[in-house]
Amino acid sequence: MQVFQPYPFHWVPAAGQRHASTDRRPEGALAYPSGTSVATLCREQVIADNSEIGWLWPTCDSCNTEAHRIARELPTTTTARSN
């Protein structure tokens, strides 16, 4: 059985695209609040636009590539199942 490990990045709409970032979100927030300055996986500094339309923007190709690389490199934890 694989144990779910959350990804160390979060998606954020900003600058007309959905970017990914490893910046910490505010305590208890599920998304970066609009107006938050965020460093992205594509090495940009952007301002979050947590609007409904922002989540419909296209995904930044560079952030997507880097997010997939990070996800592939995460260790997987397995446990044996006993009957």
The fraction of the chain above a pLDDT of 70, given in percent, is 84
Average pLDDT over residues 1-12: 77
Q: What are phi and psi of 17, to 5 degrees?
A: -145, 165
Number of residues written out for the chain: 83
Q: Is the pLDDT of residue 72 over 70?
A: yes
| First vs last C-alpha separation in the chain | 13
Average pLDDT over residues 14-25: 97
Domain extent listing, the chain: 10-73
Average pLDDT over residues 23-43: 95
* CB 15 within 8 Å of CB 47: yes
* CB 43 within 8 Å of CB 24: no
Residue 9 pLDDT class (50, 70, 90 cuts): very high
Average pLDDT over residues 47-66: 97
